[in-house]
Amino acid sequence: MDLVVSKINKVIGKIAVSGDKSISHRSIMLGGIAENETHVHNLLLSEDVKNTINCLEKLGVIVERQNDITIVKGMPPEHYKPYYGQLDAGNSGTAVRLLLGLISGSSNSYCFTGDYSLKSRPMKRITDPLKEMGANISFVEKNNLLPIIIKGGNLQAINYKLPVASAQVKSAIILAGLQGTGTTVIEEPEVTRDHTEIMVNYFGGKIEKDDSFIKIEGRQKLVGNEVFVPGDISSAAFLIVLALISPKSELLIENVGLNPTRTGIIDALKSMGANIEIIFEKVSNGEKYGHIMVKNSNLTGTTIEGNIIPRLIDEIPILAVAATFAEGKTTIRNAEELKVKESNRIEMMVTQLGKMGAKIEETEDGMIIEGPTKLKGLVVDSGGDHRIAMALAIAGMMAEGQTKVLGSNCISISFPEFEDILKKIIK
Ligand SMILES: O=C(O)C1=C[C@@H](OP(=O)(O)O)[C@@H](O)[C@H](O)C1
Ligand SMILES: C=C(OP(=O)(O)O)C(=O)O
């Protein structure tokens, strides 16, 4: 079914968004290699996270639901069962890339694959460091792409400078480093989300951080624990922007993850003049979270570049929508990573938002948007990319007439409650 939306008046209310996708993946994976049980509260049960669960279950990890709690019973990957079929990560880059790091501790041979989109995303960024640590890896069809066959075991520590700022690459090396011998040192070009480091520490592992260096000792045992998954700031971002750009709107979004490596969207919107307040802050399992109060605001254009980019990488499609309603020019630079996400997100936003009437231009590593512009509703294409589908749906709610977002079922990849929540707050 394609989502059809019309112009709304305003949004008002108090809501909570689905659990954080990055923390959900990690709670299942780290629970899946830890001793004892891990009890996860508020796990995101989206398509991407279900793919992580399905893959690990095939290897012998037990994942059970009891009321609202997800219980993970894991074991060190060297004890995982052989699996002779393909382990399918579906649409999820995080699932396949982190699982490759995790599974490299096993001496069994496994084959990983994914859907059409995931099969076009670069994998050498993961396989290069894992090969250097001693894993045997081959590309079945095409260099750099899934499917991949991996046979690990007997890993050795490496010193590795990440060629791209990527939390997925960093996390895969951490998961492998924990299982090898020696101390692995990773250098990041820019700080990326640190949920893996936080959860490894919380599960009793030793991992040190010093500026842009991360040090992991090998042969570590993790012990499962109680995990609370806060709401996903990447999902909240769509509702935050809707409240900012629709007149007389006011939203309170409760218990949203506020890890500083993820709050670039709040900083960027505030630099555009957004009225956003954090009205309560707490820490659980090492992760900051709190309530976000958003009020309709007059936005102005800004420049988004440099080390803020990894802190808001998944929010750039919805930022482009915010920029369309802002007075003046918004320039987004250093965001070339957007070209290798579930779709080429620069191209998708430029063509689809452009079709709706936005003054948006593609650049080598980002985009330039001139605002404010009135949008018109029409048929737009999500390209099967959940972030594009939601960004276009929000744009459609501010456009004249009706907007139909083709391929919007992909929204369940990260935010299955998107439509239900909107129904509650649209007045
Ligand atoms: O580690 C993670 O959970 C993620 C890291 C980011 O990808 P990269 O590591 O490719 O930047 C982000 O875009 C993705 O949605 C989730
Ligand atoms: C890029 C994303 O996810 P992944 O890389 O896990 O597919 C995303 O959720 O926007």
Instruction: Give the pLDDT confidence score for residue 58 in this predicted structure.
Output: 98
- Please give the ipTM for the structure prediction: 0.99
DSSP state of 314: G
Are 281 and 290 in contact by the 8 Å Cβ rule? The answer is yes
As beta bridge partners, residue 62 has 73
**CA 93 to ligand 2 centroid distance, Å:** 6
* Residue whose pair of structure tokens reads 């500083």 in the numeric block: 260
Token readout for 204 is 């009793």
Phi and psi at residue 276, to the nearest 5°: -130, 130
Instruction: Give the pLDDT confidence score for residue 405 in this predicted structure.
Output: 98
Name the stretches of the chain with pLDDT < 70: none
- Burial class of 423 by CB neighbour count within 10 A (0 to 12, 13 to 18, 19+): exposed
Instruction: Give the pLDDT confidence score for residue 353 in this predicted structure.
Output: 98
User: Average pLDDT of the chain?
Assistant: 98
Strands 402-406, 287-295: pairing is unpaired
Specify whether the backbone of 390 is left (phi greater than 0), alpha (psi in -120 to 50) or beta: alpha
Nearest CA residue ID for atom 11, ligand 1: 166
Instruction: Give the pLDDT confidence score for residue 211 in this predicted structure.
Output: 81
Instruction: Give the pLDDT confidence score for residue 212 in this predicted structure.
Output: 83
Distance CA 239, CA 42 (A): 19
- Ligand 2 pocket test target in 25, 115, 168, 314 with most atoms within 8 Å of CB: 314
Distance CA 300, CA 285 (A): 37
Give me the CATH code for the 3-19+230-425 domain, please: 3.65.10.10
Residue type, 270: K
Distance CA 412, CA 427 (A): 24
* Residue whose pair of structure tokens reads 């929000």 in the numeric block: 394
Strands 213-217, 226-228: pairing is unpaired
Phi and psi at residue 310, to the nearest 5°: -65, -20
Neighbours of 339 (CB within 10 A): 12
Instruction: Give the pLDDT confidence score for residue 210 in this predicted structure.
Output: 86
Instruction: Give the pLDDT confidence score for residue 72 in this predicted structure.
Output: 98
Hey, CA dihedral for 18, 22, 28, 31, is it positive or negative?
negative
Instruction: Give the pLDDT confidence score for residue 10 in this predicted structure.
Output: 98
Q: Where do you find CATH 3.65.10.10 in the chain?
A: 3-19+230-425, 21-218
Instruction: Give the pLDDT confidence score for residue 173 in this predicted structure.
Output: 98
Classify domain 21-218 at the CATH superfamily level: Enolpyruvate transferase domain (3.65.10.10)
**CA 230 to ligand 1 centroid distance, Å:** 17
Instruction: Give the pLDDT confidence score for residue 174 in this predicted structure.
Output: 98
Neighbours of 65 (CB within 10 A): 11
The percentage of the chain sitting over the pLDDT mark of 70, rounded to a whole number, equals 100
**CA 327 to ligand 2 centroid distance, Å:** 30
Determine the straight-line distance between the first and last CA of the chain, rounded to whole angstroms: 24
Token readout for 193 is 């989300």
Instruction: Give the pLDDT confidence score for residue 1 in this predicted structure.
Output: 80
Q: State if residue 313 touches ligand 1 by the CB under 6 angstroms criterion.
A: yes
Nearest CA residue ID for atom 10, ligand 2: 314
Q: Which atom of ligand 1 is nearest to the CA of 168?
A: 9
* Helix (H) / strand (E) containing 177: helix 167-177
